[in-house]
Structure 1
Amino acid sequence: MNPTWAFFSFNGRMRRRDYWLWNLVLAMILIPVLPTVLQNGNGDMISVLARLVFLVGVWASAAMNVKRLRDRNKSPWWILLTFMPVVGILFQLVELGILDGTPGPNRYGPDPKGRGGQPPREGGDRKDEAIFEG
C-alpha cells in the first residue's frame, strides 16, 4: 500500500489490518517528537519542526480514520466523535479498529479485501446520514 494514499488521501476505503499497520508507523514517527511538541518551545527550529511533524500526523490520522469510516459504510462526519474524551477513544478502538468493514462494495467504493457482495440498497441502512448529513 502506498503511504502517500494512507496518510494524505481521504478517498477510498481502508481495511483494519492496514489501519493498524499505518497507525503503528505513524506512532513511531510521532512519539519521539511529542515531548518537544508538549514543552513550551522558544520558537527554535527543532520546536517548529516538531510541531509541523505533529500537525502532519494529525492530518494523516484523520485521513486514515475517514477511510476506515467509509469501509464501515459510515459518513465521514462520524470522525467528530473522535474529539470527545473517552467516547472518542472507545469509538476509534471499536468502530475503526475492531469491527470489520462492509463486505463487498459500498457507497464509498469497492471492498479493499476484494470480497464480492451486493452494494447497499438506495435508501437502505443509512441511519448515520440522518444524524450527520441532515
Structure 2
Amino acid sequence: MTLQQWCFSYRGRLGRRDFWIWQAVWLLTTTLLFVLAGNDLLDTQMAAFGVVCLLWPASAVLVKRLHDRNRPGYWAFLVIVAWMLVAGNWSMLDGVLPWLVGRAIPFIIFVGLLLDLGLFRGTAGKNRFGAAALPVRYKPATYQ
C-alpha cells in the first residue's frame, strides 16, 4: 500500500501497525498545531484548519482498519456520535445523567473502538472488503 492509498483511499484493509502509526502521527500533528497556536506562533484558525485537513486521512485509516476487522465503514460514525455527545449541553438532565451521556458513553465508545481496532487482529485471509492487509510502504520504490 502506498502513502497515498493509506491516507486518502477508503478501499482495502489496514493492519494494526499502520493504524497505530497513523494514531501517533495524528496525535503529534494536532498537539503541535495547538501548542504553536497556544504560544501565538500560529493563528488558532490555522491550527483548526490543519485539524480539519486531517479529517479525511483519519477517516480513511479508520474505515480501512474497520474493513480489516470485517466491519463496514459506517461504524466510523460512532466517532462522530461520541464527539457530539461530548460537545452537547446535557445540563437539562437530572442527577448523574449529564455525566453519563456527556462523558461515560463517549468514553466507552472511544475506548471500545480503540481496543477493537488497535489490539485485535484483522480477519485472516480474504474477507468481503478484499485481500489481507498489506503493509504501508513509507519509502518510495527505487527504480534501477
TM-score, normalised with respect to structure 1: 0.70
- Unaligned 5+ runs, structure 2: 83-105, 136-144
Give the counterpart of 2:130 among 109, 121, 125: 109
Q: For the aligned residues, what is the CA RMSD?
A: 2.4
- Indicate whether 1:47 and 2:44 are aligned: yes
1:69 Cα offset (Å): 0.4
Q: Do 2:34 and 2:44's aligned partners in 1 also have CA atoms closer than 8 Å?
A: no
In structure 1, how many angstroms separate the alpha carbons of the residues matched to 2:67 and 2:36?
34
Higher relative contact order by CA 8 Å / sep ≥ 6: 1 or 2? 2
Q: C-alpha displacement at 1:113, in angstroms? A: 5.3
2:18 and 2:33 mapped to 1: Cα distance? 23
Report if aligned partners of 1:33, 1:50 keep a CA contact under 8 Å in 2: yes
- The equivalent residue for 1:17 is 17
Match for 2:20: what amino acid? W
Alignment partners' CA distance in 1, 2:50 and 2:3? 15
Shift of 1:36: 6.1
The share of aligned pairs that are identical, in percent, is: 30
- Whichever of the two has the greater Rg, that structure is 2
Task: Select which of 73, 78, 88 maps to 1:76.
Answer: 73
Q: What's the CA shift for 1:67?
A: 0.5
Task: Indicate how the Cα distance of structure 1 residues 29 and 19 shifts in structure 2: closer, same or farther if over 3 A, else same.
Answer: same
TM-superposition CA deviations, 1:63-122 (whole Å, max 9, x none): 1110010001101111122232112211222111111100001111100159xxxxxxxx
Corresponding residue for residue 98 of structure 2: none
Say if 2:84 is the partner of 1:63. no
SS in structure 1 of the partner of residue 126 of structure 2: coil
TM, length-normalised to structure 2: 0.65
Cα shift readout 1:43-71 (whole Å, capped 9, x = no counterpart): xx733321221012222211111001000
Segment drifting more, 70-79 vs 21-30: 21-30
